[in-house]
């Protein structure tokens, strides 16, 4: 069971191209994030103009290692970040541990 979640909510910059933003995210995922130890998945969520990243890692140690190596963003991360309005109201960053995972019964 995945037990560590990196959750960030944010808004894109005014007039940012959503297709270009999603392409930058895909490149970042394929060439960096997915190569990190313990990576499980990255879901990008949207509710109107609010976006959220929901990245799952196998362990909290894996997530903390990801956060550490991400402190110096590479070119792919910088391209991804160029679409984000970091000063927008409502932007948040959380690290969660999964305490219970409810699944559909088959």
Domain boundaries, the chain: 4-97
Is residue 10 packed enough to be buried (19+ CB in 10 Å), middle (13-18) or exposed (0-12)? buried
pTM above 0.85, yes or no: yes
Cβ within 8 Å of residue 40, ≥6 positions away: 2, 56, 57, 58
Taken in order 61, 67, 68, 73, is the CA torsion positive or negative? Answer: positive
Mean pLDDT of the chain: 95
pLDDT at 106: 81
pLDDT at 26: 98
Selection from 106, 19, 15, 27 nearest residue 74 by Cα:
27
pLDDT at 1: 58
**CATH no., domain 4-97:** 3.30.70.100
pLDDT above 90 covers a percentage of the chain that reads 89
What are 34-77's pLDDT values in tens digits? 999 999 999 999 999 999 999 999 999 999 999 999 999 999 99
């Amino acid at each position: 069971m995945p037990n560590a979640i990196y959750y960030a909510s944010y808004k894109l910059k005014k007039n940012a191209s959503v297709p270009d933003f999603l392409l930058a995210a895909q490149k970042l995922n394929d060439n960096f994030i997915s190569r990190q130890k313990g990576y499980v998945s990255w879901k990008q969520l949207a509710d109107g103009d609010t976006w959220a990243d929901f990245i799952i890692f196998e362990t909290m140690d894996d997530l903390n290692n990801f956060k550490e190596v991400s402190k110096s963003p590479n070119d792919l991360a910088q391209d991804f970040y160029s679409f984000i309005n970091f000063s927008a109201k409502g932007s948040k960053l959380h690290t969660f541990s999964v305490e219970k995972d409810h699944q559909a019964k088959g």
